[in-house]
């Protein structure tokens, strides 16, 4: 009688795979095993970690014992798909962008115009250059976040699967802190504040464009005006408190101050006359994130040539940009500033969205931040005269008992 039970295979999770999903482990070490087959093994209890039933989405840890069926012959690992061979110019480009490197991470100062990942008619991109940054690492480096093609600046690359999982978690729980510099058209009425507008994909754009929409995902951006060039332009510091697609670009355009060079969201009004470049003026200036081995990575990226030339042409002082919003005590903006910001932002948003929602009425509530109602001030009821409290201590109603005389 032949044994029809599947033959079992086993493996011990290595340090470089610590923290990744189980299905990701199979892509690395059992490439060619179909996901549908993995799911079937998981449902039938044939996948186990340390003797316990495992699911394909489980996070694995170094040292765990993985047991699985031996894949059939037809699902044996296929050779990895090879990308375009890197030229000397590609290697020079990749290494020339590097501004930080340690055993777990690399930080690049991404050039404007270079896509982070490939797409239609996009042959050169950061992801395609990562083989040039492997050095002595155990595996090919991996992207853990993205920057728009025309946005320059600090871009984090993980050198090991363990650090990739760690950094991905930092971005998802928003403990990573990113600071951007931008030059915008016009000058906000309020020097420092927070933009709180939900964002959603714009219908008909194929997901390539976002817009402000009541049913969108919550999105918040903190901004600070560093310096102004009269009323024509301002240099601002931006901190995304959420990570939505094109968030900074949509938020600045929504309050009437598009980023210079961002024709997608600012239209013709996003370009300044004279010698100011028509390229996007949005730069990931600083990145701070906890390191998987302890401590933190804190890296600043120099602005690209066109951005530096515009700062100079507009008469901005680079030293002023070094005093950021993190150097002041965090908390809500001052009361007067918050009220002024509410009026300015609400007015701009209502004008931009006129016809999309009902206009401001007599019952509309002013806001301190867009979307957050300001409580009504308390007023005295008619017919009841206002009484004043007497000055001084209020006499206590409690009676104290006389103490018995002390025995001599």
DSSP characters over 263-317 = HHHHGGGG--STT--SS--EEEEEEEEE-TTSSEEEEE-PPPHHHHHHHHHTT--
Distance CA 277, CA 310 (A): 7
Cβ count within 10 A of residue 59: 13
Closest by Cα among 251, 248, 272, 244 to 260: 272
Distance CA 109, CA 98 (A): 6
Crossing angle of the two packed helices 35-43 and 22-29, in degrees rounded to 10: 130
Catalytic residue, candidates 23, 50, 58, 148: 148
Q: Cβ distance 32 to 40 under 8 Å? A: no
Distance CA 310, CA 276 (A): 6
Closest by Cα among 32, 33, 28 to 46: 33
Q: Cβ distance 237 to 180 under 8 Å? A: yes
Q: Hey, is 391 helix, strand or coil?
A: coil
Q: What is the DSSP letter of 40?
A: H
| Torsion angle (degrees, nearest 10) of CA 257, 177, 201, 303 | 50
Q: Which residue has the tokens 């006499």?
A: 395
Q: Could you confirm whether 196 is annotated as catalytic?
A: no
CB-based burial, 285-295: b 16+ in 10 Å, e otherwise: bbbbbebbeee
Within 8 A by CB and 6+ apart from 6, the residues are 46, 69, 70
Which helix (H) or strand (E) segment is 248 a member of? helix 247-254
Distance CA 339, CA 1 (A): 84
Distance CA 343, CA 8 (A): 68
Active site residues: 148
């Amino acid at each position: 009688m032949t044994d029809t039970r599947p033959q079992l295979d086993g493996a011990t999770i290595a340090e470089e795979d610590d923290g990744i999903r189980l299905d990701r482990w199979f892509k690395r070490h059992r490439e060619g095993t179909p996901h549908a087959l993995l799911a079937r093994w998981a449902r039938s209890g044939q996948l186990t970690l340390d003797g316990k039933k495992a699911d394909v989405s489980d996070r694995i840890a170094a040292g765990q014992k993985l047991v699985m069926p031996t894949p059939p012959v037809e699902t044996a690992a296929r050779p990895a798909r090879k990308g375009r061979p890197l030229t000397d110019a590609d290697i020079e480009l990749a290494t020339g962008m590097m501004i930080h490197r340690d055993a777990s991470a690399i930080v690049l100062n991404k050039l404007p115009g270079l896509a982070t990942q490939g797409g239609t008619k996009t042959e050169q991109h950061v992801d395609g250059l990562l083989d040039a940054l492997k050095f002595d690492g155990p595996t090919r480096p991996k992207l853990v976040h993205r920057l728009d093609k025309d946005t320059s600046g600090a871009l984090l690359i993980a050198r090991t699967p363990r650090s990739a999982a760690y950094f991905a978690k930092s971005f998802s729980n928003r403990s990573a802190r990113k600071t951007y510099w931008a030059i915008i058209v016009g000058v906000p009425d309020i020097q420092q504040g927070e933009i709180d507008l939900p964002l959603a994909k714009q219908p008909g754009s194929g997901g390539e464009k976002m817009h402000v929409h009541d049913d969108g995902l919550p999105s918040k951006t903190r901004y600070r005006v560093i310096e102004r060039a009269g009323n024509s332009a301002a240099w601002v510091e931006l901190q995304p408190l959420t990570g939505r697609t094109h968030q900074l670009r949509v938020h600045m355009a929504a309050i009437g101050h598009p980023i210079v060079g961002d024709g997608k969201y600012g239209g013709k009004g996003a370009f300044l006359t004279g010698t100011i470049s028509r390229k996007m003026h949005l730069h990931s200036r600083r990145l701070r994130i906890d390191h998987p081995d302890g401590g933190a990575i804190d890296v600043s990226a120099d602005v690209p040539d066109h951005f530096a030339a515009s700062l100079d042409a507009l008469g901005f002082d680079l030293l002023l940009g070094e005093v950021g919003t993190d150097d002041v005590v965090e908390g809500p903006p001052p009361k007067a500033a918050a009220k002024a910001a509410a009026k300015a932002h609400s007015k701009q948003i209502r004008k931009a969205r006129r016809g999309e929602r009902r206009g401001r009425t007599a019952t509309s509530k002013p806001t301190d931040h867009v979307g957050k109602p300001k409580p009504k001030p308390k007023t005295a009821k008619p017919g009841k005269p206002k009484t004043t409290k007497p000055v001084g201590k209020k006499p206590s109603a409690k009676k104290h008992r006389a103490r018995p005389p002390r025995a001599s």
